[in-house]
Amino acid sequence: MPREETMKTFSLPRFPRMVARDPREQHRVASSLELFFDLVFVIAVSQASQALHLELTTGDPGHAVVSYLMVFFAIWWAWMNFTWFASAFDTDDWLYRVTTIVQMGGVLVLAAGVSDAMLDGEWDTVTWGYVIMRLAMVSQWVRVAISDPSQRAAAVRYASGIAAVQCVWLLRLNLPPEAQLWSFWGAVVLELLVPVWAERRRETPWHPRHIAERFSLFVLILLGESLLASANAIFDAAAGGRRTPEIVALSIVALVLAAGVWWIYFSTQSVKLLRDRRSGLVFGYAHYFLFAAVGALSAGIETELDLLTGKVAASESILVSFALAIPVGVYMIVAWVILLRRSLPWFGSVLFLLFAATALLSAVLPTATVLTCAVSIALAVVALELFQGTDAAGARERSVDAFGLPREA
Protein backbone atom coordinates (compact mmCIF):
# COMPACT_ATOMS: atom_id res chain seq x y z
CA MET A 1 0.00 0.00 0.00
CA PRO A 2 1.40 3.45 -0.88
CA ARG A 3 2.63 5.51 2.04
CA GLU A 4 0.18 8.33 1.29
CA GLU A 5 -2.80 5.98 1.53
CA THR A 6 -1.50 4.51 4.84
CA MET A 7 -1.19 7.97 6.38
CA LYS A 8 -4.64 8.90 5.15
CA THR A 9 -6.14 5.75 6.65
CA PHE A 10 -4.81 6.57 10.13
CA SER A 11 -5.45 10.32 10.10
CA LEU A 12 -7.38 11.86 12.97
CA PRO A 13 -11.07 12.65 12.38
CA ARG A 14 -11.66 16.18 11.23
CA PHE A 15 -14.03 18.66 12.75
CA PRO A 16 -15.38 21.93 11.37
CA ARG A 17 -14.36 25.34 12.64
CA MET A 18 -16.44 26.47 15.60
CA VAL A 19 -18.03 29.60 14.18
CA ALA A 20 -21.13 31.46 15.27
CA ARG A 21 -24.49 30.07 14.18
CA ASP A 22 -27.20 32.19 12.61
CA PRO A 23 -29.46 33.59 15.39
CA ARG A 24 -32.27 33.76 12.83
CA GLU A 25 -31.95 30.12 11.80
CA GLN A 26 -35.35 28.63 11.00
CA HIS A 27 -36.71 25.61 12.88
CA ARG A 28 -33.84 25.60 15.41
CA VAL A 29 -34.63 23.06 18.14
CA ALA A 30 -32.79 21.38 21.00
CA SER A 31 -30.41 18.64 19.86
CA SER A 32 -30.35 15.09 21.18
CA LEU A 33 -26.99 15.87 22.83
CA GLU A 34 -28.55 18.78 24.73
CA LEU A 35 -31.36 16.52 25.94
CA PHE A 36 -28.80 13.89 26.95
CA PHE A 37 -26.84 16.60 28.76
CA ASP A 38 -29.95 17.59 30.72
CA LEU A 39 -30.44 14.05 32.05
CA VAL A 40 -27.41 14.18 34.35
CA PHE A 41 -28.77 17.34 35.91
CA VAL A 42 -31.80 15.33 37.04
CA ILE A 43 -29.42 13.39 39.29
CA ALA A 44 -27.84 16.53 40.72
CA VAL A 45 -31.21 18.21 41.38
CA SER A 46 -32.55 15.00 42.94
CA GLN A 47 -29.59 14.82 45.30
CA ALA A 48 -30.05 18.46 46.28
CA SER A 49 -33.79 18.09 46.97
CA GLN A 50 -33.21 14.91 49.00
CA ALA A 51 -30.55 16.59 51.11
CA LEU A 52 -32.82 19.61 51.57
CA HIS A 53 -35.63 17.37 52.82
CA LEU A 54 -33.32 15.56 55.24
CA GLU A 55 -31.79 18.76 56.61
CA LEU A 56 -35.20 20.42 57.00
CA THR A 57 -36.54 17.56 59.12
CA THR A 58 -33.46 16.56 61.12
CA GLY A 59 -31.14 19.57 61.11
CA ASP A 60 -31.12 23.35 60.99
CA PRO A 61 -33.78 24.69 58.55
CA GLY A 62 -31.87 27.94 58.00
CA HIS A 63 -28.70 26.08 57.12
CA ALA A 64 -30.74 23.76 54.90
CA VAL A 65 -32.08 26.62 52.79
CA VAL A 66 -28.72 28.40 52.46
CA SER A 67 -26.82 25.23 51.54
CA TYR A 68 -29.51 24.27 49.03
CA LEU A 69 -29.26 27.67 47.34
CA MET A 70 -25.47 27.33 47.23
CA VAL A 71 -25.55 23.88 45.62
CA PHE A 72 -28.32 24.87 43.25
CA PHE A 73 -26.27 27.83 42.03
CA ALA A 74 -23.56 25.44 40.85
CA ILE A 75 -26.14 23.27 39.08
CA TRP A 76 -28.00 26.16 37.47
CA TRP A 77 -24.98 28.19 36.43
CA ALA A 78 -23.20 25.28 34.75
CA TRP A 79 -26.38 24.30 32.91
CA MET A 80 -27.19 27.83 31.80
CA ASN A 81 -23.67 28.58 30.56
CA PHE A 82 -23.65 25.46 28.42
CA THR A 83 -27.14 26.23 27.11
CA TRP A 84 -26.22 29.75 26.02
CA PHE A 85 -22.95 28.56 24.49
CA ALA A 86 -24.65 25.76 22.56
CA SER A 87 -27.24 28.18 21.24
CA ALA A 88 -24.48 30.26 19.66
CA PHE A 89 -21.77 27.74 18.68
CA ASP A 90 -23.09 24.15 18.66
CA THR A 91 -21.18 22.28 15.91
CA ASP A 92 -22.18 18.74 16.99
CA ASP A 93 -18.84 17.31 15.84
CA TRP A 94 -16.86 14.66 17.69
CA LEU A 95 -14.75 17.10 19.74
CA TYR A 96 -17.77 19.15 20.78
CA ARG A 97 -19.55 15.95 21.84
CA VAL A 98 -16.57 14.66 23.82
CA THR A 99 -16.13 17.99 25.60
CA THR A 100 -19.83 18.04 26.47
CA ILE A 101 -19.62 14.50 27.86
CA VAL A 102 -16.68 15.63 30.03
CA GLN A 103 -18.96 18.36 31.39
CA MET A 104 -21.55 15.69 32.13
CA GLY A 105 -18.91 13.81 34.10
CA GLY A 106 -18.34 16.95 36.15
CA VAL A 107 -22.08 17.11 36.91
CA LEU A 108 -21.97 13.54 38.22
CA VAL A 109 -18.96 14.33 40.41
CA LEU A 110 -20.82 17.37 41.76
CA ALA A 111 -23.93 15.26 42.42
CA ALA A 112 -21.85 12.74 44.35
CA GLY A 113 -20.77 15.47 46.76
CA VAL A 114 -24.11 17.21 47.29
CA SER A 115 -25.03 15.36 50.49
CA ASP A 116 -21.61 15.93 52.04
CA ALA A 117 -21.79 19.62 51.19
CA MET A 118 -25.32 20.27 52.42
CA LEU A 119 -25.32 18.02 55.49
CA ASP A 120 -21.70 18.10 56.64
CA GLY A 121 -20.26 21.26 55.11
CA GLU A 122 -17.70 19.33 53.04
CA TRP A 123 -17.49 21.18 49.71
CA ASP A 124 -14.44 19.53 48.14
CA THR A 125 -16.28 17.08 45.85
CA VAL A 126 -18.91 19.61 44.75
CA THR A 127 -16.20 22.17 44.00
CA TRP A 128 -14.06 19.79 41.96
CA GLY A 129 -17.10 18.60 40.00
CA TYR A 130 -18.03 22.21 39.28
CA VAL A 131 -14.47 23.09 38.22
CA ILE A 132 -14.39 20.11 35.83
CA MET A 133 -17.54 21.41 34.14
CA ARG A 134 -16.26 24.95 33.91
CA LEU A 135 -12.79 24.06 32.60
CA ALA A 136 -14.43 21.99 29.87
CA MET A 137 -16.38 25.14 29.00
CA VAL A 138 -13.10 27.09 28.90
CA SER A 139 -11.81 24.68 26.24
CA GLN A 140 -14.95 25.32 24.18
CA TRP A 141 -14.37 29.07 24.30
CA VAL A 142 -10.70 28.62 23.36
CA ARG A 143 -11.84 26.69 20.32
CA VAL A 144 -14.17 29.56 19.36
CA ALA A 145 -11.31 32.05 19.76
CA ILE A 146 -9.16 30.00 17.40
CA SER A 147 -11.90 29.37 14.84
CA ASP A 148 -13.94 32.57 14.62
CA PRO A 149 -12.13 35.93 14.37
CA SER A 150 -15.41 37.84 14.65
CA GLN A 151 -16.05 36.34 18.09
CA ARG A 152 -12.43 36.11 19.25
CA ALA A 153 -12.48 39.02 21.68
CA ALA A 154 -15.58 37.79 23.51
CA ALA A 155 -14.32 34.19 23.49
CA VAL A 156 -10.96 35.18 25.00
CA ARG A 157 -12.72 37.16 27.72
CA TYR A 158 -15.01 34.22 28.48
CA ALA A 159 -12.14 31.73 28.61
CA SER A 160 -9.88 33.90 30.76
CA GLY A 161 -12.70 35.06 33.03
CA ILE A 162 -14.05 31.58 33.69
CA ALA A 163 -10.56 30.15 34.26
CA ALA A 164 -9.70 32.91 36.74
CA VAL A 165 -12.86 32.37 38.75
CA GLN A 166 -12.14 28.62 38.96
CA CYS A 167 -8.90 29.49 40.73
CA VAL A 168 -11.01 31.42 43.26
CA TRP A 169 -13.24 28.38 43.82
CA LEU A 170 -10.26 26.12 44.44
CA LEU A 171 -8.50 28.63 46.73
CA ARG A 172 -11.72 28.89 48.71
CA LEU A 173 -11.31 25.27 49.84
CA ASN A 174 -8.26 26.29 51.88
CA LEU A 175 -10.17 28.88 53.90
CA PRO A 176 -11.49 28.17 57.41
CA PRO A 177 -15.15 27.07 57.52
CA GLU A 178 -16.42 30.42 58.79
CA ALA A 179 -14.83 32.20 55.79
CA GLN A 180 -16.15 29.80 53.18
CA LEU A 181 -19.70 31.17 53.31
CA TRP A 182 -18.89 34.80 52.46
CA SER A 183 -16.20 33.74 49.98
CA PHE A 184 -18.79 31.59 48.19
CA TRP A 185 -21.03 34.57 47.47
CA GLY A 186 -18.02 36.60 46.40
CA ALA A 187 -17.14 33.93 43.84
CA VAL A 188 -20.78 33.87 42.71
CA VAL A 189 -20.65 37.60 41.96
CA LEU A 190 -17.48 37.07 39.89
CA GLU A 191 -19.15 34.27 37.92
CA LEU A 192 -22.18 36.42 37.19
CA LEU A 193 -20.00 39.30 36.00
CA VAL A 194 -18.05 37.24 33.46
CA PRO A 195 -20.80 37.27 30.75
CA VAL A 196 -21.44 40.98 31.34
CA TRP A 197 -17.75 41.74 30.87
CA ALA A 198 -17.20 39.30 27.99
CA GLU A 199 -20.08 40.64 25.87
CA ARG A 200 -19.80 44.33 26.65
CA ARG A 201 -18.55 45.19 23.12
CA ARG A 202 -19.86 42.34 20.98
CA GLU A 203 -22.72 39.95 21.74
CA THR A 204 -22.53 36.26 21.00
CA PRO A 205 -25.28 35.26 18.53
CA TRP A 206 -27.59 33.16 20.69
CA HIS A 207 -30.90 32.02 19.22
CA PRO A 208 -33.94 33.40 21.14
CA ARG A 209 -36.32 30.59 20.19
CA HIS A 210 -33.74 27.94 21.02
CA ILE A 211 -33.01 29.53 24.42
CA ALA A 212 -36.73 29.73 25.25
CA GLU A 213 -37.18 26.06 24.35
CA ARG A 214 -34.19 24.96 26.43
CA PHE A 215 -35.45 26.78 29.52
CA SER A 216 -38.91 25.30 28.99
CA LEU A 217 -37.45 21.81 28.75
CA PHE A 218 -35.51 22.28 31.98
CA VAL A 219 -38.72 23.26 33.77
CA LEU A 220 -40.24 19.99 32.57
CA ILE A 221 -37.18 18.08 33.81
CA LEU A 222 -37.46 19.71 37.24
CA LEU A 223 -41.18 18.89 37.36
CA GLY A 224 -40.46 15.28 36.44
CA GLU A 225 -37.91 14.98 39.23
CA SER A 226 -40.32 16.57 41.69
CA LEU A 227 -43.16 14.24 40.72
CA LEU A 228 -40.93 11.16 40.90
CA ALA A 229 -39.48 12.02 44.31
CA SER A 230 -42.89 12.90 45.73
CA ALA A 231 -44.52 9.78 44.30
CA ASN A 232 -41.83 7.47 45.68
CA ALA A 233 -42.19 8.98 49.15
CA ILE A 234 -45.98 8.70 49.01
CA PHE A 235 -45.83 5.09 47.77
CA ASP A 236 -43.50 4.15 50.64
CA ALA A 237 -45.77 5.76 53.21
CA ALA A 238 -48.92 4.19 51.74
CA ALA A 239 -47.31 0.76 51.75
CA GLY A 240 -47.18 0.97 55.54
CA GLY A 241 -50.93 1.60 55.69
CA ARG A 242 -50.49 4.79 57.70
CA ARG A 243 -53.18 7.49 57.47
CA THR A 244 -54.13 6.47 53.97
CA PRO A 245 -56.89 9.08 53.34
CA GLU A 246 -54.52 11.93 54.24
CA ILE A 247 -51.80 10.45 52.05
CA VAL A 248 -54.21 10.19 49.11
CA ALA A 249 -55.17 13.83 49.63
CA LEU A 250 -51.50 14.85 49.69
CA SER A 251 -50.85 12.96 46.47
CA ILE A 252 -53.67 14.87 44.79
CA VAL A 253 -52.19 18.14 46.03
CA ALA A 254 -48.77 17.16 44.65
CA LEU A 255 -50.31 16.62 41.22
CA VAL A 256 -52.28 19.88 41.40
CA LEU A 257 -49.12 21.82 42.32
CA ALA A 258 -47.10 20.25 39.49
CA ALA A 259 -49.90 20.93 37.03
CA GLY A 260 -50.16 24.51 38.23
CA VAL A 261 -46.42 25.07 37.81
CA TRP A 262 -46.60 23.68 34.27
CA TRP A 263 -49.70 25.67 33.36
CA ILE A 264 -48.31 28.97 34.60
CA TYR A 265 -44.92 28.60 32.92
CA PHE A 266 -46.27 27.54 29.53
CA SER A 267 -49.08 30.05 29.42
CA THR A 268 -47.00 32.73 27.71
CA GLN A 269 -44.67 33.14 24.74
CA SER A 270 -41.38 33.39 26.59
CA VAL A 271 -39.39 33.91 23.39
CA LYS A 272 -40.89 37.41 23.13
CA LEU A 273 -39.03 38.34 26.31
CA LEU A 274 -35.62 37.64 24.71
CA ARG A 275 -35.08 40.81 22.72
CA ASP A 276 -31.42 41.72 23.33
CA ARG A 277 -28.42 41.06 25.58
CA ARG A 278 -29.88 42.88 28.58
CA SER A 279 -33.24 41.09 28.42
CA GLY A 280 -31.42 37.79 27.91
CA LEU A 281 -29.31 38.29 31.03
CA VAL A 282 -32.35 39.26 33.11
CA PHE A 283 -34.31 36.28 31.77
CA GLY A 284 -31.50 33.82 32.45
CA TYR A 285 -30.43 35.15 35.86
CA ALA A 286 -33.98 35.42 37.20
CA HIS A 287 -34.59 31.78 36.32
CA TYR A 288 -32.23 30.79 39.12
CA PHE A 289 -34.97 31.57 41.64
CA LEU A 290 -37.68 29.96 39.52
CA PHE A 291 -35.70 26.76 38.95
CA ALA A 292 -34.66 26.57 42.61
CA ALA A 293 -38.28 26.88 43.74
CA VAL A 294 -39.47 24.13 41.39
CA GLY A 295 -36.56 21.92 42.46
CA ALA A 296 -37.54 22.34 46.12
CA LEU A 297 -41.20 21.37 45.63
CA SER A 298 -40.60 17.67 46.24
CA ALA A 299 -38.80 18.47 49.52
CA GLY A 300 -41.86 20.42 50.63
CA ILE A 301 -44.21 17.55 49.77
CA GLU A 302 -41.98 15.05 51.56
CA THR A 303 -41.76 17.15 54.74
CA GLU A 304 -45.55 17.44 54.80
CA LEU A 305 -45.69 13.66 54.40
CA ASP A 306 -43.31 13.26 57.36
CA LEU A 307 -45.68 15.39 59.43
CA LEU A 308 -48.64 13.21 58.43
CA THR A 309 -46.88 9.96 59.27
CA GLY A 310 -45.44 11.16 62.58
CA LYS A 311 -41.79 11.30 61.53
CA VAL A 312 -41.80 14.99 62.41
CA ALA A 313 -43.26 16.24 65.69
CA ALA A 314 -46.46 18.28 65.52
CA SER A 315 -44.66 21.07 67.39
CA GLU A 316 -42.56 21.68 64.26
CA SER A 317 -45.56 21.93 61.95
CA ILE A 318 -45.02 25.61 61.15
CA LEU A 319 -41.42 25.01 59.99
CA VAL A 320 -42.60 22.03 57.95
CA SER A 321 -45.35 24.10 56.35
CA PHE A 322 -42.89 26.77 55.25
CA ALA A 323 -41.00 24.03 53.36
CA LEU A 324 -43.99 23.78 51.01
CA ALA A 325 -45.37 27.31 51.12
CA ILE A 326 -42.10 29.07 50.25
CA PRO A 327 -41.36 27.15 47.01
CA VAL A 328 -44.96 27.53 45.80
CA GLY A 329 -45.17 31.24 46.65
CA VAL A 330 -41.69 32.10 45.36
CA TYR A 331 -42.34 30.26 42.10
CA MET A 332 -45.56 32.16 41.51
CA ILE A 333 -44.00 35.56 42.26
CA VAL A 334 -40.91 34.96 40.11
CA ALA A 335 -43.03 33.56 37.26
CA TRP A 336 -45.09 36.76 37.36
CA VAL A 337 -41.96 38.93 37.32
CA ILE A 338 -40.27 37.06 34.45
CA LEU A 339 -43.16 35.88 32.31
CA LEU A 340 -46.53 37.37 33.14
CA ARG A 341 -46.41 40.99 34.23
CA ARG A 342 -46.44 42.34 30.68
CA SER A 343 -49.23 40.06 29.46
CA LEU A 344 -51.65 40.46 32.37
CA PRO A 345 -53.82 43.54 32.88
CA TRP A 346 -53.38 45.26 36.23
CA PHE A 347 -56.39 43.57 37.79
CA GLY A 348 -55.18 40.14 36.66
CA SER A 349 -51.75 40.86 38.12
CA VAL A 350 -53.25 41.93 41.44
CA LEU A 351 -55.26 38.71 41.65
CA PHE A 352 -52.28 36.56 40.68
CA LEU A 353 -50.00 38.15 43.27
CA LEU A 354 -52.74 37.91 45.89
CA PHE A 355 -52.92 34.16 45.34
CA ALA A 356 -49.11 33.94 45.51
CA ALA A 357 -49.10 35.84 48.82
CA THR A 358 -51.84 33.57 50.14
CA ALA A 359 -49.71 30.52 49.38
CA LEU A 360 -46.71 32.07 51.15
CA LEU A 361 -48.64 33.10 54.24
CA SER A 362 -50.50 29.80 54.51
CA ALA A 363 -47.58 28.40 56.50
CA VAL A 364 -48.73 30.32 59.59
CA LEU A 365 -51.77 28.00 59.65
CA PRO A 366 -50.09 24.59 59.31
CA THR A 367 -53.32 22.60 59.23
CA ALA A 368 -54.40 24.46 56.09
CA THR A 369 -51.08 24.91 54.27
CA VAL A 370 -51.34 21.97 51.89
CA LEU A 371 -54.89 22.74 50.79
CA THR A 372 -54.28 26.49 50.62
CA CYS A 373 -51.23 26.10 48.38
CA ALA A 374 -53.16 23.85 46.00
CA VAL A 375 -56.18 26.17 45.89
CA SER A 376 -53.98 29.26 45.47
CA ILE A 377 -52.11 27.93 42.45
CA ALA A 378 -55.35 26.59 40.93
CA LEU A 379 -57.02 30.01 41.30
CA ALA A 380 -53.92 31.66 39.81
CA VAL A 381 -54.34 29.45 36.74
CA VAL A 382 -58.00 30.49 36.52
CA ALA A 383 -56.91 34.14 36.67
CA LEU A 384 -54.50 33.53 33.80
CA GLU A 385 -57.19 31.93 31.68
CA LEU A 386 -59.55 34.82 32.35
CA PHE A 387 -57.19 37.75 31.87
CA GLN A 388 -54.00 36.80 30.01
CA GLY A 389 -53.47 37.42 26.32
CA THR A 390 -56.93 38.81 25.59
CA ASP A 391 -57.45 41.39 22.86
CA ALA A 392 -60.20 43.98 22.57
CA ALA A 393 -62.67 41.29 21.57
CA GLY A 394 -61.66 39.15 24.52
CA ALA A 395 -60.25 36.28 22.44
CA ARG A 396 -57.32 34.32 23.88
CA GLU A 397 -54.19 34.05 21.75
CA ARG A 398 -53.39 30.42 20.98
CA SER A 399 -50.75 30.69 18.26
CA VAL A 400 -48.10 28.91 20.32
CA ASP A 401 -46.58 25.46 20.29
CA ALA A 402 -46.12 22.97 23.14
CA PHE A 403 -43.30 25.05 24.65
CA GLY A 404 -45.14 28.37 24.66
CA LEU A 405 -43.23 29.55 21.59
CA PRO A 406 -44.77 31.22 18.52
CA ARG A 407 -45.46 28.72 15.78
CA GLU A 408 -43.11 29.03 12.81
CA ALA A 409 -44.48 29.12 9.31
Given pLDDT bands bounded at 50, 70 and 90, which one contains residue 392? very low
The rounded percent of the chain whose pLDDT value lies above 70 is 89
pLDDT value of position 397: 46
pLDDT value of position 351: 95
Q: Which of 10-19, 335-344, 367-376 has the lowest mean pLDDT?
A: 10-19
Rounded-to-integer distance, Cα 231 and Cα 176, Å: 40
Using one digit for the tens of pLDDT, what is the confidence trace for 244-287? 788 888 899 999 999 999 999 999 888 888 888 888 889 999 99
pLDDT value of position 395: 37
Q: Which of 76-85, 181-190, 230-239 has the lowest mean pLDDT?
A: 230-239
pLDDT value of position 311: 76
Flag whether pLDDT at 7 surpasses 50.
no
Flag whether pLDDT at 396 surpasses 90.
no
Specify the amino acid at residue 302.
Answer: E
Mean pLDDT of the 78-92 span:
93
pLDDT value of position 22: 79
Domains of the chain in start order, with CATH, are 32-198 (no CATH), 208-387 (1.20.1410)
Mean pLDDT of the 77-82 span:
96
Neighbour-count burial of 153, counting CB atoms closer than 10 A to its CB (0-12 exposed, 13-18 middle, 19+ buried): middle
Q: 12 or 139, which is more confident? A: 139
The rounded percent of the chain whose pLDDT value lies above 90 is 62
Flag whether pLDDT at 406 surpasses 60.
no
pLDDT value of position 314: 60
Rounded-to-integer distance, Cα 90 and Cα 84, Å: 10
Rounded-to-integer distance, Cα 369 and Cα 366, Å: 5
Rounded-to-integer distance, Cα 250 and Cα 32, Å: 35
Using one digit for the tens of pLDDT, what is the confidence trace for 309-323? 877 766 577 778 899
Nearest to 363 by CA among 295, 291, 300: 300
Given pLDDT bands bounded at 50, 70 and 90, which one contains residue 106? very high
Specify the amino acid at residue 85.
Answer: F
pLDDT value of position 172: 93
Mean pLDDT of the 102-124 span:
95
Mean pLDDT of the 163-186 span:
91
Contact 273, 344 (CB under 8 A): no
Given pLDDT bands bounded at 50, 70 and 90, which one contains residue 11? low
Flag whether pLDDT at 2 surpasses 60.
no
Using one digit for the tens of pLDDT, what is the confidence trace for 285-313? 999 999 999 999 999 999 888 888 877 76
Q: 43 or 388, which is more confident? A: 43
Q: pTM of the prediction?
A: 0.90
pLDDT value of position 241: 64
pLDDT value of position 13: 60
Q: 334 or 15, which is more confident? A: 334
User: In sequence order, which residues have a C-beta less than 8 Å from that of residue 237 and are 6 or more positions away?
Assistant: 247, 305, 308, 309
Mean pLDDT of the 207-225 span:
94
